[in-house]
Amino acid sequence: MTQPDIRSTVRDQYGAMARAGSSCCGPSTNGCCAPAADPDALAAAIGYDAGELARILPEGANLGLSCGNPGSIAALKPGETVLDLGSGAGFDVFLCGPKVGPTGRVIGVDMTPDMLAKARGNIAGYSQRTGLANVEFRMGEIEHLPLADASVDVVISNCVINLSPDKPQVWREIARVLKPGGRVAVSDMVLLKPLPDSIRSAVEAYVGCIAGASLVDDLKAMLVAAGFAKIRLTPKAAYVATLTQNDDPLYRDLAAALPPGTAPVDFITSMDISASLPGGTCCAPGCCS
Ligand SMILES: C[S@@+](CC[C@H](N)C(=O)[O-])C[C@H]1O[C@@H](n2cnc3c(N)ncnc32)[C@H](O)[C@@H]1O
């Protein structure tokens, strides 16, 4: 597929998920990042706190499309400006809002109109629950962010960069919008080994956050080329293990295409990716580590 084809396929599929109100994955409908028969159970499996979700999240903000918990590695502080790439229905935007408080701001960017409409529709419920008016959602592609240079303290993203047809450009854009010393806290799918061709060329596997995933060394090279330092890549096996155990159709197909004696966890993982730009001012011992 060409880059525009990939983008419009991804947009169409995620638009359908937004309209369905929850993940459309299931035995008959392959093609998204999670089975999410039970989005809350998936969130618990990848490290979200059930009490926090119940307290903060408006109904319908968790579509079960996440593969990690970027807010948990972002060390957010009151007053910071946070950008969420591919914010979906607003899941991590809403969870990060209380962490940056009334003097901070969380901005979600997504290219899918139905996702954006859903996220914006969720703002009233978030404000009712938290008393905060510190979030917004902007239409845009993560390869061409609708934000000014050096305007953001922290970029987060949850299971999105793998979907981009131009990942080096995404990392350059992240570096452009971050302030000097700004940091990234991203969860994404990453390859430990190359996938078989039959999986790499499957549209469902691409939309399902498998086929577009980068190899670990390629990811590291993109971060370095974009100017990042203090790169920390931490594999999180729980997501793939959970989907494999739940007999998710995409992971069943992946398992069937792999060499005998191997399993999806040997090839692909959710990964916590943290890094920062040079030039930050350390406010306290350890705060820039
Ligand atoms: C797997 S979902 C994750 C949603 C959200 N981060 C979450 O965890 O619930 C991927 C989201 O990224 C958006 N997306 C995919 N590629 C994008 C791109 N190139 N630019 C902007 N948004 C994109 C999709 O519209 C969709 O909402």
Specify burial of residue 93 (Cβ count, 10 A radius: 0-12, 13-18, 19+): buried
Per DSSP, what are the bridge partners of residue 88?
none
What atom in ligand 1 is closest to the CA of residue 158?
6
Contact 195, 211 (CB under 8 A): yes
282 located within any domain: no
Please state whether the predicted TM-score (pTM) of the whole model is above 0.85: yes
pLDDT per residue as tens, the chain (289 positions):
788 899 999 999 999 999 997 544 443 344 444 445 689 999 999 999 999 999 999 999 999 999 999 999 999 999 999 999 999 999 999 999 999 999 999 999 999 999 999 999 999 999 999 999 999 999 999 999 999 999 999 999 999 999 999 999 999 999 999 999 999 999 999 999 999 999 999 999 999 999 999 999 999 999 999 999 999 999 999 999 999 999 999 999 999 999 999 999 999 999 999 999 998 654 444 444 3
DSSP state, 27?
T
Note the pLDDT of residue 3: 81
Pocket test for ligand 1, best of 23, 92, 110 (most atoms within 8 A of CB): 110
Q: How many Å lie between the centroid of ligand 1 and the Cα of residue 16?
A: 13
289 located within any domain: no
151 located within any domain: yes
Among the residues of the chain, which ranges form H helices? 3-20, 39-45, 50-56, 91-100, 113-130, 167-177, 197-200, 203-207, 216-225, 238-245, 249-257, 264-267
284 located within any domain: no
Ligand 1 proximity of 14 Cβ (cutoff 6 Å) = yes
Residue with tokens 């499309």: 65
Considering only CA atoms, which of 34, 48, 73, 32 is closest in space to residue 239? 34
Q: Which domain holds residue 36?
A: 3-276
Q: How many Å lie between the centroid of ligand 1 and the Cα of residue 288?
A: 29
What atom in ligand 1 is closest to the CA of residue 142?
20
59 located within any domain: yes
288 located within any domain: no
Stated as kind and residue range, the H or E segment containing 71 is none
Number of domains in the chain: 1
Q: How many Å lie between the centroid of ligand 1 and the Cα of residue 110?
A: 6
Ligand 1 proximity of 112 Cβ (cutoff 6 Å) = yes
127 located within any domain: yes
- Specify the residue with its C-alpha closest to ligand 1, atom 1: 65
Ligand 1 proximity of 43 Cβ (cutoff 6 Å) = no
249 located within any domain: yes
Stated as kind and residue range, the H or E segment containing 152 is strand 152-158
State how far the Cα of 67 lies from the Cα of 243, in Å rounded to an integer: 10
- What's the CATH number where 128 sits? 3.40.50.150
